[in-house]
A and B are shown apart, each in its own frame.
Chain A
Amino acid sequence: MDVAIIDYKMSNLFSVQSACEKVGLSSVITSDNHEILDAKVAILPGVGAFGEAMKSLRESKLDKVIHEFVETGKPFVGICLGLQLLFDSSEEFGDYSGLGLIKGKVKKFKYHSDYSTKYPVPQISWNKINKTNGSWDDSLFHNNTNGDFMYFVHSFYVIPENESVILSKTTYGNTEYCSSIQQDNIFACQFHPEKSGKIGLNIYKNLKKRYC
């Protein structure tokens, strides 16, 4: 199986699977540790609350399976809440500890307005991903362009301790934040590539080309 889509009852898995199918990746929606560990790529999607999601991952022992998968060196992809869960902790409704695979924390947007423009929270909007330092050629953004629009739905954003893991930044109102990271075999993004039209599907195409 090319892709294991990790099912911990907290996300819309249908669209991730449709995107895989569209680019010719075989995929399975699963919470079985063998199926996950046997796959070439694992995807951790996620919608909803950080605390609930961590609770669900721990209860099903999927947190350990994720650590085990990442240690194999095979590509691991986090999407939206699946990015945030990789971090040490989140300030969502009190403090919660996360998977601790990426050093840093998760913080909430503050509602604000400037002149006549309001910046509601959650941000539910298309927004641009901007290059930070390095090139995207050797990442899942291969063939994407600086300033491409992706679809975002979130109230929280990640702050990595080590800036060098940041692959793209995005600006919402007065906040410039990390919208994707790459750390060794982990790629994760705040936006939903499977909901970002043809430009987002390019990330799935790259998964297929590079790893499957």
Chain B
Amino acid sequence: MKYIRIIPRLDIKGPNLVKGIHLEGLRVLGKPEDFAKLYYEQGADELIYQDTVASLYQRNSLTDIITRTAKNIFIPITVGGGLRTLDDINTVLRAGADKVSINTAAINNPDFITEASRVFGSSTIVIAIEAIKQPDNSYLAYTDNGREYTGVDAIAWAKEVEERGAGEILLTSIDKEGTGDGFDLELIKRVSDLLTIPVIAHGGAANDSHISASIKNSGADAVAIASMLHYGALNRNGSLVSDYNTEGNTEFLKKKGSYKMFGKENISEIKVQLNKYDIPLRILS
């Protein structure tokens, strides 16, 4: 039996939880710690914190958010966004992260994967691959939230990452991310068939049949989901935010908007539903 992990992914900008489409056009949804706590109680198997602008700005506020979260939430937390050096990794691990995810620095300097895996242990190093499908059906890896072209073949890169000692792959389809159209099943299958380390599928989930397909058809070991949970929580509870006096694009929250593409999903119900499709999961009693 292999138990599949359901991992909420929280994109963070400054003090806020944000969500975009294709990793762009970020909209403020609330405070990451509030959502993290809610997901922990609903039975999330891990959490991913992705700092969306760490490549561009300083990240002191991120370490504070990690520490506040890790003191109250006893599941693994993976942190990514702009980590470039062994010292950067050490900083977020000391703040309370259990694993780190690395994209840009790994592509720019693949030896960084080898070194980080040796120093911190393979299981601490998650390599994030952000892929865009090309007209010839190949996939290329991009960096900086899908903005920067690298020319690197995403599938071959995944294999190299494994050989260099990474413990896990976080595989994002930029094309699908934030759309709610379902995962890029072909991308996940091609990577998962090739690798012997776990693959976390990310990008496009809007309902439990999307998740089921990524596992049953494409062999994902875990799924990272964002919009369907965040909007699910907001559609169900109204706002989780008490204070709108925060930076960023808060128009959506002020209008008490709802996002019709997504329902009122929450993790415990998703898990019960997936269990009915014969997918083994940890369900809280």
Contact = CB atoms under 8 A, between A and B. Distances in A.
A81 to B, nearest CB: 8
B57 interface: no
A200 B76 CA distance: 12
Main secondary structure of the interface of B (DSSP, over half): loop
A125 B2 contact: yes
The 3 closest A-B CB pairs, nearest first, are A48-B121, A126-B282, A111-B196
Contacts of B123: 47, 122, 124, 153-155
A19 interface: yes
A118 interface: yes
Interface string A158-187: 000000000000011100000000000000
A120 B124 contact: no
B124 A151 contact: no
A133 interface: no
A196 B87 CA distance: 27
A121 B196 contact: yes
Contact of B76 (A49, A117, A120, A151): A151
B121 A124 contact: no
Interface in B175-222: 192, 195-199, 216, 219, 221-222
A197 B197 CA distance: 24
B32 interface: no
B48 interface: no
Interface stretch (A10-18, A36-44, A66-74, A94-102): A10-18
Nearest to B197: A120
Contacts of B45: 126, 151
A119 B4 CA distance: 11
B117 to A, nearest CB: 9
Interface residues of A, number: 41
9 contacts: A12-B124, A14-B93, A48-B121, A118-B221, A120-B197, A122-B122, A124-B221, A149-B282, A195-B76
Nearest to A49: B121
Contacts of A196: 74-75
Interface string B117-146: 010111110000000000000000000000
Nearest to B122: A122
Contacts of A21: 71
A65 interface: no
Nearest to B120: A48
Nearest to B221: A120
B96 interface: yes
Nearest to A21: B71
Interface in B151-190: 167-168
B124 A47 contact: yes
A127 interface: yes
Nearest to A194: B74
Interface residues of B, number: 38
A58 interface: no
B74 A198 contact: yes
A120 B3 contact: no
A14 B282 contact: no
Main secondary structure of the interface of A (DSSP, over half): mixed
Interface in A103-133: 111, 116-122, 124-127
Contact of A124 (B40, B94, B167, B219): B167
Contacts of B56: none
A142 interface: no
Contact of B5 (A118, A125, A154, A192): A125
A12 B94 CA distance: 7
Given A47-B124, A155-B122, A120 B1 contact: no
Given A111-B196, A121-B196, A18 B75 contact: no
B95 interface: yes
A21 B216 CA distance: 41
A48 B197 contact: no
A54 interface: no
A124 B195 CA distance: 14
A19 B72 CA distance: 9
Contact of B219 (A48, A118, A155, A171): A118
A62 B93 CA distance: 23
Interface in A16-46: 18-19, 21-22
A143 to B, nearest CB: 13
Contacts of A126: 3, 5, 45, 282
Contact of A171 (B1, B76, B167, B197): B1
Contacts of A22: 71-72, 74
